[in-house]
Structure 1
Amino acid sequence: MNGLRIIICWILLLFLVLPVTAVGGDAISGISPSSGQAGNSYTVTITGANFTNTSGSVRFEKGSDDFNCNSPTTWDYISPTNKIVCKVKIPSNADLGYWNLIVVKGWDKTEILKTNAFAVSEEMSITSITPTSGRMETDVDFTIAGKNFNKDYIDDVFLSIDDFDTNISADDFKVDSSTKITGTFDLGDVDEEGDYDICIIDDFGSVECKKKAFEVITNAEGTLEIDSNPSGAAIYIDNVANGTTPRDIDILVGTYKVILKKAGYQDWSKTVNVQEDETTTIDATLYAAPTATPTQTQSTPYPTATPTTARTTIKSTMKIPTTYAEVPTTTAASPIEPWVIIGAVCLALIALRKR
């Protein structure tokens, strides 16, 4: 009898010491997060049963490719739900799609498999959305610019506010290229104005958002009651002509710059804030534009200048031959002998006597 009691006590003690999960089979119940983008690092938490009391290893496998979840920081085998926490670096060239998750027990190296447990997607990014705002109860055609948009995997494009508390999915969208998505948002049922995130989610659950990139604007209206003294001034609201004073204008809620213009008067301007279902009154006094008084100046007579005819020099292109001056040739005089002269005189005298 005592022996039976001892056996029962040992059995009860074993049930108290051994983890409850040891009664069931090996299993992986889940992983969080269940997806990641190639090239990024994540800390994942794996839950299941019968992970054993000796740390083993964790890996992701697809076909012949695999990568490890390294250095488990937690390997809990005692709690009703066993838990492993480890860090994984997804290779930048990892195939997109679903990967199997394998937990290898530490003491006997047996493997626990969960198929299609983790999804690898391409790292998307959103650069901008055009337009950046839209009014309630309207349809807004949009264009999203970014990179790594994969038409085979993008599941939804949506606007979100307050951490996904309110989501507005695009009625339809098209992935035009890896850098461009176009579509339409129906803001007809939106009842909350404000700044929304623009988000893209793929088939694997990866979400990429650009914070506060799109503003939903109320379509509520107020009234601008505009008058001036004198009346008849042209009204410009945000530089757009809108009749003349006096005038009442129903306008969407918002902040506007009002300018009044009238010939002969100085321009008048003011920034006003229009509230929903309220009237904003403008009663402007216009002041005459200052006129310039001409300055009288005494005329000073100036001496009349005698026009001077400027000498005009024309440069000729005609070639002028060089003329050389003729130098007269001097012939040396022949010398006359004195006896010739005396002889001539004597002959003349003799001739005169004979007469």
Structure 2
Amino acid sequence: MRFKRKRLFILLFSFTFIFSGCSIWQPLENSKKQNEAMEPTSIIAPDVKVNEEYYRGVLPYKPSPIGGMLKELPRRLDSNKFELGLIEMAKNEYDPSEFVFQEGQVLTMNEIEPILDQYQDFLYSVVEHDYLHEDGTYGGVVVGLFVSSVYQEGETRKSYTDDQIRERSKEIANKILSMVRKKVTDPSILFGIVKAEEIDMKLPGTFILKGEVKEKENSIDDWTNIEESYLFLPAKGSSYNGSEGDISLGFNQLKDQLNEYLPGFAGLTGLARFVNGNLIELTINVNTEFDSTVEVIQFTQFAIALISKYFPTDSQINLYVQTIDQPKAIYIRQANGDDFVHIYRD
């Protein structure tokens, strides 16, 4: 079997469902909107059966008035992980089978811009997601804050401690809460705080704090610290312990085995996500060249078998196989064991 050898140095992180904002908005007329059904022209998108569980949306789609006009995040990867992380957080409170997703329609740019100006050295972005009942009334609101982990003191760049980040974030969240409650007084509200990664540009920001406001309450009494971290693979050095050490070792073994199967394949990179020290998700990117579709199938099957051997069975695994200019195969295994594979047909 002939094989085209090319050295490729590509870092490509693929994410399937991404929500992004725009600057178009039609304001809420008054606070009574929360108890009214959606306008007759609004319908709910059909429930499409997919392996991963996502919320249905409201049609026609309404972009958030605060989307796309805030401070730019350090990396596109941050935007993807930020919004998907907020949706993941919402699933614990708002069952996707009972609630419908809508980009935030409560907060406006006139309200958020002064907050951004006041905390311009700290606050990157604010995102709002709304979760509606089937009749269009508000069931919940999720607000995300993306904040900096560093600050400038004279000519010196210094880092905030996590405690300092949490305290400043709580202060901002309480101000935003009062804005939300003026318009929607009943539904529960969640706050998710993400700290930017300012040093290693290959890593996204991490969730460090979650706040909960119960129905009809006006204060955030329930704050929970979140210990989230990422590990870029292959990891440099050998100082990793626990789950990080196990995943790093497994990744290196996977790489060696794939190299034996297909000598000289160009590159294998990964991004592992941990919460409270446990592997939650692992994304693996294979970059190489293939002589035929059959070769893609055989390679992908071999990689899937190795994944089951080297990594925990209760973590989500995303495998993306691609050449320099096009995807070739995708394999997704969810934490519950459900999986699927797709081979692209040229």
Pairwise TM-score range, normalised by the shorter structure: under 0.3
- Choose between structure 1 and 2: higher helix proportion: 2
TM-score, scaled to structure 2: 0.23
Q: Give the number of the structure with larger relative contact order, counting CA–CA contacts within 8 Å between residues 6 or more apart.
A: 2
**Higher percent of residues as strand:** 1
Larger Rg: 1
